[in-house]
Amino acid sequence: MGAPTVRTLADEDVAAAGRLLAARHRRHRLESPALDPVFEEPGAAQAEIEALLARPGSTAAVAVRDGRVCGFMVGVHRDETWGPNVWVEAAGHAAESAEDIRDLYAFLAGRWLGNGRTAHTALVPAADAAGLDAWFRLGFGHQHVHAIVRTPALRDPDDPDVPDDPDAVLIRPAESRDVDELTRLDVLLPSHQAGSPVFSGLRVPTLAEAAADLDYLDDPRFVTFVAELAGGVVGVVTGCSVDESASNSGLIRPPGAGFIAFAAVFPEARGRGVGRTLARTLLRWSAREGHPTVAIDWRMTNLLSSRAWPALGFRPTFFRVHRRL
């Protein structure tokens, strides 16, 4: 099978692109059935593509073989927090042959670079080994993970998280008296990710900025639990509905899921089951709220996260791959 002809996407190509995306999502749900089945319908998939095309500055191409559209790709811009960027979102690409992804990217990437867009990112189904290989052979690296886990069976809601062992981890809802520790924990994660081997380019907030963001403690959409050891707060987890997560939308968002929005443990308390106990508490809260699954995302280069979350049963649904020119 030879290389396809690649050209700019035209209005009459959008329906074919929707069918390709729906077929890709159908295959994906064989491995990740908790994802939303609505996008197996070509009309719903097409609507996601149309939303991308409507964004200012979007660029798109199709691959054509034997007179038929066999692949497509759409690039969009996110805010400049991400640098001079182009994103190929979860709904922004599909192809009958994974190799055609390379031709589509080659057609568009020169235009992106010509416009000064040097940071290229794509969201790829984790189950699509051939598709991931195509992106990796374009010079992309594995940057980020989106994952889900099913919530556990409910236990007696009157059974509190109070240990018999006074040296064990105690979990309780966060209170206003925890502000100082919560502020330090809020800065801990971005500080950790600014270092090796993550080297995140996102700015680390100051303690004052972190304190100003603690208004979620009074927001009924969110729940926050803290962990205590020997009477001192050593960790935190914050949860909500996945509908509150801007980074888990469209094809990525499992319907009805809960979401772990933030979690951190002070370094001196690690290795004592604090993070695991916090996470399990949040999973039980999600079950009581009626969420069938819980979603999370993390940097693959964050060694702590990339080991802890899979050990708790989270299974990847999408991988974010990244290339900087």
Mean pLDDT of the 81-103 span: 96
Which pLDDT score, from 0 to 100, does residue 233 have?
A: 97
Predicted model pTM: 0.92
Terminal C-alpha separation, the chain: 30
Angle between helices 129-136 and 99-114 (to 10 degrees): 40
Mean pLDDT of the 98-127 span: 97
Query: Of 103, 57, 98, whose CA–CA distance to 80 is shortest?
Result: 57
Which pLDDT score, from 0 to 100, does residue 52 have?
A: 98
Q: How confident is the prediction for the chain on average, in pLDDT?
A: 93
Q: Is 145 exposed, middle or buried (0-12, 13-18, 19+ CB in 10 A)?
A: buried
Residue-wise pLDDT for 212-249, tens only, equals 778 788 889 999 999 999 999 999 999 999 999 998 99
Q: What is the CA radius of gyration of the chain?
A: 21
Domains in the chain (CATH in brackets) are: 5-139 (3.40.630.30), 149-317 (3.40.630.30)
62 vs 294: CA distance, rounded Å: 35
Angstrom distances, CA of residue 226 to CA of 27, 40, 167, 193, 256: 40, 40, 16, 21, 25
Mean pLDDT of the 199-213 span: 85
Give the count of beta carbons closer than 10 Å to the beta carbon of residue 196.
7
For 298, the token pair is: 């993390």
pLDDT range class, residue 155, cuts 50, 70, 90: low
319 vs 90: CA distance, rounded Å: 9
